[in-house]
Structure 1
């Protein structure tokens, strides 16, 4: 859990700094620090679901078939 929290802190800090450095606005940096990691979390969840589906299909197609 420590590693997860550490990554979240780094991610939010990078999002803030990118927004701030590009615009000079603390408000834009703060908004990005809140919104971008949240969107990435949802995208990652959907990505994982898609990969699990792909892995299941691959596992099913690699199983030997029994002769009738």
Structure 2
């Protein structure tokens, strides 16, 4: 997992990578562009990281438990 110092740089690089893709979709495939969801919030990202971390502890394919349980 990236450290906090690099997290902002990584987020900026990811946003920059998405920009040409979303611009192309907006121009050439507006219905697909309209289907795109907004970026995840910080809270949603933390929840996803917790779920993935729990899932990674189950390499045998077992069901991870919800972080809310």
TM-score class normalised by the smaller sequence = 0.3 to 0.5
By relative contact order (CA 8 Å, sep 6+), the higher-ranking structure is: 1
Query: In proportion to residue count, which structure has more helix?
Result: 1
Q: Structure 2-normalised TM-score?
A: 0.40
Larger C-alpha radius of gyration, 1 or 2? 1
